[in-house]
Amino acid sequence: MAQLAGIKELSGLSLRALARQAGLSSSSLSRYLTGQLVPPWEAVVALCRAVGRDPRPLRAVWAEASRAGAAPAPRRNDLPADLFDFTGREAEAALVEQLLRNTAAVAIDGMAGVGKTSLAVHVAHRLAATYPDGGLYLDLHGFTPGREPLEPRTALGRLLAALDVTHPPAGVTERAALWRSELSRRRVLIVLDNAVDAEQVRPLLPGAGRSAVLVTSRHRLVSLDGVPPVSLEPLTDDDAAHLFGRAAGLPRTDGEAVSQVLRQCGGLPLALRMAGARLRHRPGWTVGVLAERLRDTANRFDSVFGMSLRQLDAGQRRVFRLLGVLPGADFDAAAAAALTDLPPDRVGAALEELVDAHLVQEPSPGRYRMHDLIRQYAADLAADEEPRAEAALRRVLRHYLAQAVARDRTLPSPHRGRPAPGDPATAMAWFDLEYANLVASFDAAVRLGMDEVVAELPQAMQVWFFRHRGTDDQLRLLESAAAAAARLGRDQQRAALLAELGFARAAAGRLSEALSAYELAERSAPDDDTAAALALRTGFVRRDLGDLEAAQAHFRRAGVLFEKIGHPAGQAQALAFDGWVTLHLGRPGEAVELARASVALVDGPARITGLVTLGLALAPDDPAGSLRALRDALRLSEQHHLQHNQAWCHNYLGVALRVTGSPEEALEHHRRAFELLEPLAEVQLEIDVRHTYAETCRAAGRRDEALALLDRTIELARELGRPYDEKRARAARDSLLAAG
């Protein structure tokens, strides 16, 4: 970076001398100066202070360079930045690295503030080249104030999403198996931070393969078999003095005053960095003055945190206190501005001061977080000193809702007209980034009784949830939202939420519960759009239960309702599924006409269902037309990145090829459907694929393979309480066994 090169010229020092004065390694400084690596902000501050220059004018340039340096790369890397002044722990780091050469997981334990996360992240960065498929980081929130530890099922969902598996299966056991399978094909290093106990971690461990996990916890996880512990003690006096000296910018770290500071900080890196930052920001102070101030408070953390606060003005201290009540894992300046009711420039300046004082971390430009101990300290201060803390929390909850609504409006959806101006990809990326914070905000709104936020936030996340079916929180959010809408007397909103709840339950395989939600929605005075969607979705459930006549009646009612409100895409779906059940009721000619009417109504991906129905109906009498329709459907699915539709198309291409006499080619399409389905929460589609795949295996003379598929279908249907699917699979199995 040109600015850093200018700082070197200004210093008049050699690279080695400047690195030593700034507390950096020569190799790191060389990469910073040549633009090979964007330095962390702390390194920029250290270099500026080494030459007596104010670093703040460089922050905007640094942020832009960091964003440019964070462009998509071939390998995934979610790890927080390594500490530029990481000190000591050489023996522990070497031990962790040695253990990882022989085992798939290591657990680092120790008291709060002792540097567990810093060590894990430092080792992960040192070993980055050994794990070419990337580094992942997940905070398990075992000790985060005001927050429950992350459930293993949710943690697995987020880890799988980091590997681009966005629709995992429902159960913990199935997710854990998929997670191990994904890791077995990659070489990834995962940091699982702040584990509350062994039970939280056990399902997240890798199996066979070359991936590895580093776990941190305040508790020693002795019951994790095959996971050796590495326990951290406070830093030795020499290492503590070295870290304090680097943080404070001291040329020497001997003398009684330094020893007093070290004793008060107890060898804890978090306390040492904050005490050093306090001294660095008060150039008129001596170490003796710092030691005297620390002695004034008996509690180690109160003394260090409180002293860091006292270097701030009243407005900055208020920002810090209010951050203690902020929901979620991290935040941006906009959320902090809503929380504090300050203009962006003032809150931005306050956050910079908090970062400089080590009270807030900035792991990436514009994203902030707090250490759990500091967050608890801030929350305690807010409880004692902020009578309007709840009002601040309510502001930020309304902020998150407004942001979600604005971004949701830019996303295309079949349930509404033209989206608002904006980039859908940017909106989806925002939901991905803020998802955990949105869920935490929802839970906070429930606690506060903010029914407007509770009722509206899941609706603003509807499109995101549709594209991430299987997300753990969706069902409970929708259940709470429907109850909130009822309390508000919003019958139509309650009906819409119940319709979404039913759809989510059906996707999870809970068909009877889905019908219950739909029936409640019908009794809640739905508007015309919701009534049409309810008719269509009730048809899906009736079809999946094997009641084809009832399903057809619902599809036809949906078609009438969609036509009435001028919704051609919905009408096309209703016609296509009417054709689907008509075909399975033994009337292929009528099914062809319904499918053609569906295809003629719409363009783009809305034609997929009609084309698949048409291809399947034409297969016995018009093989060329059948394959043409199904391949057109597959092409549309691929063009629009609709993975579940791709699986559906491949499966029925397999059926059509079997019917037209090409069973071996058909098997390839069934296998491809299974590959696409593996990461999706599409239970009914999986059952359908297994059933049709078994039929094709039978036609290809692969009896044992067909039996295995049917046995698993029976098992899956029984687990999910789906008697119709179990009955179909048993009948097919009995027929196969009878044929010998």
- pLDDT category of residue 415 using cuts at 50, 70 and 90: low
CATH class given for the domain over 534-738: mainly alpha
Q: How far apart are CA 730 and CA 463, in angstroms?
A: 37
- Summarised one tens digit per residue, pLDDT across range 39-71 is 777 778 777 777 777 777 777 777 776 665 533
Alpha-carbon distances, residue 131 vs 73, 182, 361 (angstroms): 14, 14, 26
Q: What tokens does 118 get?
A: 């810093």
Which amino acid is located at 182 in the chain? E
**92 has pLDDT over 50:** yes
- Summarised one tens digit per residue, pLDDT across range 581-608 is 999 999 999 999 999 999 999 998 899 9
Higher-confidence residue: 223 or 392?
392
Half-sphere exposure of 683 (CA within 13 A, CB side): 26
- Chosen CATH of 312-386 out of 3.40.50.300, 1.10.10.10, 3.40.50.720, 2.60.120.560: 1.10.10.10
3-state secondary structure of 226: coil
Residue 164 region by backbone torsions, left for phi larger than 0, else alpha for psi between -120 and 50, else beta = left
Location of structure tokens 């094997």: 546
Residues 601 and 575: beta-carbon distance below 8 Å: yes
CA 375 to chain CA mean position, Å: 22
- Summarised one tens digit per residue, pLDDT across range 664-693 is 999 999 999 988 887 666 777 888 899 999
Q: Which of 13-22, 343-352, 515-524 has the lowest mean pLDDT?
A: 13-22
Query: Could you give the residue range(s) of every CATH 1.10.10.10 domain in the chain?
Result: 312-386
Residues 215 and 197: beta-carbon distance below 8 Å: no
Q: How far apart are CA 501 and CA 355, in angstroms?
A: 42
Cα 344–Cα 349–Cα 354 angle in degrees, nearest 5: 125
Q: What is the mean pLDDT of the chain?
A: 87
pLDDT of residue 70: 39
Query: Per CATH, which fold does 2-71 belong to?
Result: 434 Repressor (Amino-terminal Domain) (1.10.260)
Q: What tokens does 166 get?
A: 């966005």
Q: How many other CB atoms sit within 10 Å of the CB of residue 723?
A: 11
Angle separating helix axes 333-340 and 314-323, nearest 10 degrees:
110
537: nearest Cα among 495, 574, 493: 574
Percentage of the chain surpassing pLDDT 90?
49
User: Can you tell me the mean pLDDT for 698-726?
Assistant: 87
pLDDT of residue 481: 98
Half-sphere exposure of 24 (CA within 13 A, CB side): 28
- Summarised one tens digit per residue, pLDDT across range 538-555 is 999 999 888 999 999 999
* CB-based contacts of 411, cutoff 8 Å, min separation 6: 419, 424, 427, 428, 463, 464
**1 has pLDDT over 70:** no
Cα 50–Cα 56–Cα 59 angle in degrees, nearest 5: 105
Query: Could you give the residue range(s) of every CATH 1.25.40.10 domain in the chain?
Result: 534-738
What are φ and ψ of residue 76, in 5° steps? -80, 135
**740 has pLDDT over 80:** no
Higher-confidence residue: 505 or 448?
448
Query: Could you give the residue range(s) of every CATH 1.10.260.40 domain in the chain?
Result: 2-71
pLDDT of residue 345: 92
Q: How far apart are CA 11 and CA 356, in angstroms?
A: 22
Determine the CATH number of domain 237-310: 1.10.8
User: Can you tell me the mean pLDDT for 274-286?
Assistant: 81
pLDDT of residue 418: 76
**318 has pLDDT over 70:** yes
Alpha helix positions (H), 660-702 = 663-677, 683-699
**251 has pLDDT over 70:** yes
pLDDT of residue 13: 65
User: Can you tell me the mean pLDDT for 473-488?
Assistant: 95
pLDDT of residue 339: 97
Q: How far apart are CA 572 and CA 633, in angstroms?
A: 14
Query: Could you give the residue range(s) of every CATH 1.10.8 domain in the chain?
Result: 237-310
**74 has pLDDT over 50:** no
Superfamily for 90-231?
A: P-loop containing nucleotide triphosphate hydrolases (3.40.50.300)
The pairing of strands 189-195 and 134-139 is: parallel
**Which range in 118-127, 453-462, 725-734 is most confidently predicted, on average pLDDT?**
453-462
**556 has pLDDT over 60:** yes
Q: Which of 257-266, 384-393, 631-640 has the lowest mean pLDDT?
A: 257-266
pLDDT of residue 71: 38
Residues 572 and 611: beta-carbon distance below 8 Å: no
